[in-house]
Amino acid sequence: KAGVTQTPRYLIKTRGQQVTLSCSPISGHRSVSWYQQTPGQGLQFLFEYFSETQRNKGNFPGRFSGRQFSNSRSEMNVSTLELGDSALYLCASGRQDTGELFFGEGSRLTVL
Amino acid sequence: QQQVKQSPQSLIVQKGGIPIINCAYENTAFDYFPWYQQFPGKGPALLIAIRPDVSEKKEGRFTISFNKSAKQFSLHIMDSQPGDSATYFCAAKSGNNNDMRFGAGTRLTVKP
């Protein structure tokens, strides 16, 4: 069974640009959540989508947004990038019956 | 908001030793407590998880001990190996949503 797939794995952007990250969850999983990982703040919850609807949202500014498609694939977008947005962005696919959360390898964003 | 406090920040043990990592939580609504292992350049991998209706769970060399009254839980790694050297995160969440709250992480080094 394929795991969680995130693309791109690495990207470099400049301040003010926007970026879109993609996530394909494990087949059959309808929940996708996004996390930001930085050395200073650790792992922080961004938002969760379930059946194309945002179910939860973390404490991040409106520049961070996401969506989920009917095939459960998800994208997150960050607009007007700031230096502090440099981080590893992790997507997690969730099993509703057990509560287990499985992470992808992440997309490492560097903002110059 | 630090809802899950993890200690120690780093830990060094000899091969065969039993490292113990501790976590404490504040929110009594949490009902799912996983541990994740993360190697450099990889996403967190689910190791083992527990729910508050049991006090201990073992999977291979990994054991979670859970103390509901103290709001604490810990990870023990039996017969630790150099390949166990990684960063370990405890986490907690409530209900069916995937707004997982993570501890700050423990960097474990197992010396040969």
Give me the percent of chain A exceeding a pLDDT of 90.
88
Mean of per-residue pLDDT scores for chain A: 94
Residue A88: the pLDDT is 97
Q: What is the mean pLDDT of residues B81-95?
A: 95
Give me the percent of chain B exceeding a pLDDT of 70.
98
Q: Given a cut of 70, is residue A1 above it in pLDDT? A: no
- Contact at CB, B93 and A99, closer than 8 angstroms: yes
Q: If 0-12 CB within 10 Å is exposed, 13-18 middle and 19+ buried, where does residue A70 land?
A: exposed
Q: Given a cut of 90, is residue B95 above it in pLDDT? A: no
Tokens 């000899």 correspond to what residue? B14
Q: Given a cut of 80, is residue B1 above it in pLDDT? A: no
Q: What is the C-alpha separation between B101 and A43, in angstroms, rounded? A: 8
Q: pLDDT class for A64, splitting at 50, 70, 90?
A: very high
pLDDT, tens digit (0-9, with 9 covering 90-100), for B6-39: 999 999 999 999 999 999 999 999 999 999 999 9
Q: What is the C-alpha separation between B96 and B101, in angstroms, rounded? A: 14
Say if A74 is an interface residue toward chain B (CB within 8 Å). no
Say if A55 is an interface residue toward chain B (CB within 8 Å). yes
Q: What is the C-alpha separation between A112 and A109, in angstroms, rounded? A: 10
Q: Given a cut of 70, is residue B2 above it in pLDDT? A: no
Q: Of A20, A37, A12, which is closest to residue A103 (Cα–Cα)? A: A37
Residue A40: the pLDDT is 87
**Distance from B72 to chain A by nearest Cα, in Å?**
20
**Distance from A72 to chain B by nearest Cα, in Å?**
15
